[in-house]
Amino acid sequence: MSDKVILLAHGSGGRLGQELVEKLFLHFFDNPALLQLDDSAVLDLPAAQSATYQRRLAISTDSYVVSPLFFPGGDIGKLAICGTVNDLSMSGAQPLWLSAGFIIEEGLPLADLERIVASMAETAAQAGVQIVAGDTKVVDRGSADKLFINTAGVGLVPPGVVIAGDRARPGDLVLINGTIGDHGMTIMTQREGLQFDSPLASDCAPLAGLVARLLAALPAGTLHCLRDPTRGGLATTLNELAARSRVGIEIEEDALPVREAVRGACELLGLDPLYVANEGKAVAIVAPEAAEAALAALQSDSYGREAAVIGRVTEAHPGRVVLHTTLGARRMVDMLVGEQLPRIC
Amino acid sequence: MSDKVILLAHGSGGRLGQELVEKLFLHFFDNPALLQLDDSAVLDLPAAQSATYQRRLAISTDSYVVSPLFFPGGDIGKLAICGTVNDLSMSGAQPLWLSAGFIIEEGLPLADLERIVASMAETAAQAGVQIVAGDTKVVDRGSADKLFINTAGVGLVPPGVVIAGDRARPGDLVLINGTIGDHGMTIMTQREGLQFDSPLASDCAPLAGLVARLLAALPAGTLHCLRDPTRGGLATTLNELAARSRVGIEIEEDALPVREAVRGACELLGLDPLYVANEGKAVAIVAPEAAEAALAALQSDSYGREAAVIGRVTEAHPGRVVLHTTLGARRMVDMLVGEQLPRIC
């Protein structure tokens, strides 16, 4: 069906919609729960370990409206899987099941949709999740821009794991699993049509495996916070954590991993990489005695080779983030105010 | 904030986005899981009844792109809650938790968004579900039409309940909980600017309570199928059930509840109410010995007063739906082919 485009009737609930489901979605998202084609997927949780054991679920959702749909390092489909897998992972959950809702503009080439759905299936397999429920709506030309995807996810939080934004404590260390700003600068330079000597690529990646390594490596209770610095960048995420935990955070500019190409593009466009979106990064705040093991665990994962300790949690200036610059100055790092770039994810 | 509009910066992940979350979403969707403001909501399932008991989750999603946003009987927010609550209910699950993803066009009046979010909160309370996770994206003017909402939901399927589209058996009876075509004809006539003597209103309603009554009233294993006839109408839903169960379905035109205003609007626009979308209806297929109790249970619910037995399941013509017309003729009722009206839900 490569020369065809999406028609309004593909979203009707009638025969054409059924064909799209069977030939495209079920082809790529093949699993027994989805194949039932009922109004809901019904799924067995693994048997509980004891009768009184309270199972804890993690639930998360994000809509993806990134433009362009395809970019170096990924596409809207890969992003839609990684983003929700990562949000679940940030609670320490093992991501299990995803739903996917497509809002398609009439006229989208079916070949584009097929490429995106294939990318979702590949990324889901890599992240160990199944896409168990879905929905397709088609809107008339001009009522949406090509394609928006929502994913929601359900994961299972292992017993004893409590990771939340309000658990950072003075003395804790702040780690990140690699370079910042790659996703945002890739999208921006694609849209501006800029070329660089060393090409930029999105860091878009599913972090479920990396978080599992971290949990396995650290003593219980020493991993306090996990958060993925997406929209608003690292600066906004650190501000959220400082505010939630009522602590200060100090970071070292020298310690921040930033690719040369990202640094160059930021200078050209007058942007600060601290505010640029990431899609394959996690900030981890850990008890000081666990920091060495955490760094080693991150660096042992393919998405954490360039992990670094970038700062620490302080009792001073609660709710605020301070950067120690390369030149030895201290400056306050606020949340993002205003919009750096719409449709970055 | 009633004179204000949504800006791109409301979707940035920065300070304005945070304000929108705190002042609007948390105000209306107030619950401890959402208040954590972490990347995922973490929720305790009720303790399992036995160590080996396999918990079954139901998961469903739908995106809502209805135009206009407000219509007699509801709005996009009420629809977004009812639609996903109903999809969960159709598996026999008790709906528990919903996520909500908003894609907003820059310039949407904040007062409209507030009215819609309030409507979602009210409907969620009525349906007994909590909105535990959310996301907001803002796109530039012209890249979406005002507002799209995705909801995904998680429910718990009670032990022993197995309801699915492939469980209809010859001899079973087919019931519906009330009149057909109300939602679709309301949206169509609103968009066409048509006026009628007896005004139309959407049937948009959460059916979690009605399904709970049905499950409580029927002997175990006698409720075979439940499905909500939304896009594509009753005809498409019955065709799906006939195909999934490899049975025939015969329905009686005389028995189909249709409001006079809907019948009139359909005649005027040349439409068949069998293909018009519903948003507060459920088709139930039950073993013959349970039909009387099922009808009584439906009629005892405020959303089932006009419930009726509308047909039966046959061994003959598997995969096909036949209508016995008021005039005594038999005609095949196919699935919807093509698009009756885009953006009906």
* pLDDT tens-place string over residues A104-121: 999 999 999 999 999 999
Pairing outcome for strands B56-64 and B147-157: antiparallel
Enumerate the residues of chain A whose CB falls inside 8 A of the CB of residue B14.
Answer: 231-232, 236, 335-340
Contacts (Cβ under 8 Å, ≥6 apart) of B126 = B206
Report the residue from B91, B137, B231 with minimal CB separation from A65.
B137
* pLDDT tens-place string over residues A117-159: 999 999 999 999 999 999 999 999 999 999 999 999 999 999 8
* pLDDT tens-place string over residues B60-92: 999 999 999 999 999 999 999 999 999 999 999
* pLDDT tens-place string over residues B7-30: 998 987 778 888 899 999 999 998
Q: Do residue A7 and residue B339 have CB atoms under 8 angstroms apart?
A: yes
pLDDT for position B45: 84
* pLDDT tens-place string over residues A283-338: 999 999 999 999 999 999 999 999 999 999 999 999 999 999 999 999 999 988 77
Q: Do residue A140 and residue B65 have CB atoms under 8 angstroms apart?
A: no
The values of phi and psi at residue A135, to 5°, are: -155, 145
* pTM above threshold 0.90: yes
The values of phi and psi at residue B49, to 5°, are: -80, -25
Interface probe for B, chosen from A39, A85, A340 (most Cβ of B below 10 Å), is A39
Domains defined along chain B, listed by start: 8-156 (3.30.1330.10), 173-332 (3.90.650.10)
Q: Taking 90 as the threshold, does the pLDDT of residue A45 lie above it? A: no
- The span from the CA of B344 to the CA of B279, in Å, is 10
Average of per-residue pLDDT values in chain B: 93
Q: Taking 70 as the threshold, does the pLDDT of residue A2 lie above it? A: no
Picking from A232, A246, A239, A283, the residue whose alpha carbon sits closest to that of residue A89 is: A283
Q: Do residue A87 and residue B48 have CB atoms under 8 angstroms apart?
A: no
pLDDT for position B51: 54
pLDDT for position B54: 64
Q: Percent of chain A scored above 90 by pLDDT?
A: 83
pLDDT for position B341: 80
pLDDT for position A54: 64
- In angstroms, the separation between the Cα of residue A209 and the nearest Cα of chain B is 17
Q: Do residue B90 and residue A39 have CB atoms under 8 angstroms apart?
A: yes
Q: In chain B, count of helices (H) and strands (E)?
A: 10, 14
Partner A contacted by B245 (CB < 8 A): no
Listing DSSP states for B18-81 in one string gives HHHIIIIIHHHS--HHHHT-SSSEEEEPPPPSSTTPPPEEEEEEEEE--SSSEETTEEHHHHHH
Partner B contacted by A198 (CB < 8 A): no
Partner A contacted by B14 (CB < 8 A): yes
* pLDDT tens-place string over residues A187-221: 999 998 888 777 899 999 999 999 999 999 999 99
Partner B contacted by A139 (CB < 8 A): yes
Partner A contacted by B328 (CB < 8 A): no
Q: Taking 90 as the threshold, does the pLDDT of residue B37 lie above it? A: no
Computed over its alpha carbons, how large is the radius of gyration of chain B? 21
Partner A contacted by B234 (CB < 8 A): no
B259 pLDDT band (50/70/90 cuts)?
Answer: very high
- For chain A positions 142-171, those within 8 Å of chain B (CB to CB) are 142-145, 148, 150, 152-155, 157, 164-166
B173 pLDDT band (50/70/90 cuts)?
Answer: very high
